[in-house]
Amino acid sequence: MTFTVAIDGPAAAGKGTISKAVAARLGFAHLDTGLLYRAVGAQVLRGVDPEAAARALTAEDLEAEDLRRAAVAQEASKVAAIPAVRAALVEFQRAFARRVGGAVLDGRDIGTVICPEAEVKLFVTASPEVRARRRHAEQVAQGADDPYEIVLAEVRARDDRDMNRTDAPLKPAEDAVVLDTSDLSIEAAVARALEIIDMRR
C-alpha cells in the first residue's frame, strides 16, 4: 500500500510537529524536506557550490547538528530558490513518498510540485506574529537570545523569499485543506489533521 500525506506551510506554523505526530499515529514514514534544503544551505556556508552540494547530499548530512541554526535556515531559503538545487532533490522526495506502508512529507511544495497526486494535502499556517512567538520560545529554550523582533523579521524575510520565488513558490495546492493553527493547541491541531486524513482513507 502506498499513501502520501503532503503537509505544506510557512516556517513555524506547526507542520513539523503535526507531521511527526500524524506519521507516528498512522505508522507512516516521515520526511522533513526542509532538512534537505538546510543541509545544502549548511554546505554553502562552508563554501561548497549549491548545485554540487544538492547532488552529493547523503542521508547522513540530514543528521548534522547545526541544521536548526537561524543562519542555516536563511541560507536554506536562498538555495531553495535555485532551480538546479530543487531539481537535484526531486527524485529522492518522490521515491520516499511512494514507500510501501505510507509516507508523510512536510515542506513548501509537496502538494503542488513533489506529490501533486498525494491522497491528502494539508496547508498548515498561522499568523507571522504567532509563528515568530513560537520560534522565539524554541530558541530561548535552546539558549539563544535573539529578541522577538529579530525572529519576526527573519520569519517575514523567509516567507517573502519562499512565496515570491519563481520555481515552486510556497502556496496551498488547489485541493489542499487549509489548517490555521494560530488559535489551536498542538493537540487540537494534530487531532484536526488526523480527522482530515481519516476522511480520505
With CA atoms as reference, report the closest residue to 120 among 197, 194, 61.
197
Q: Does 37 bind ligand C5P (CB under 6 A)?
A: yes
Of 113 and 177, the one with the shorter C-beta distance to ligand C5P is 113
Residues 40-69 that bind ligand C5P (CB under 6 A): none
Which residues are part of a known binding site for ATP? 9-17
CB count within 10 Å of CB 8 equals: 27
Of positions 30, 38, 134, 192, contacts ligand C5P by CB under 6 A: 38
Looking at the chain, which runs of residues are DSSP E strands? 4-8, 29-32, 103-107, 120-125, 177-180
> 5 has which bridge partners?
104, 120
User: Does residue number 11 form part of the binding site for ligand C5P (CB under 6 A)?
Assistant: yes
- 169 φ/ψ angles, rounded to the nearest 5 degrees: -65, 155
Q: Mark 65-104 with x for binding to ligand C5P (rule: CB under 6 A) and - for no binding.
A: --------x--xx--x------------------------
The DSSP annotation for 178-194 comes to EEE-TT--HHHHHHHHH
Q: How far is the CB of 184 from ligand C5P (least distance, A)?
A: 19
> What residues line the site for ligand C5P (CB under 6 A)?
11, 33-34, 37-38, 73, 76-77, 80, 107-110, 158, 162
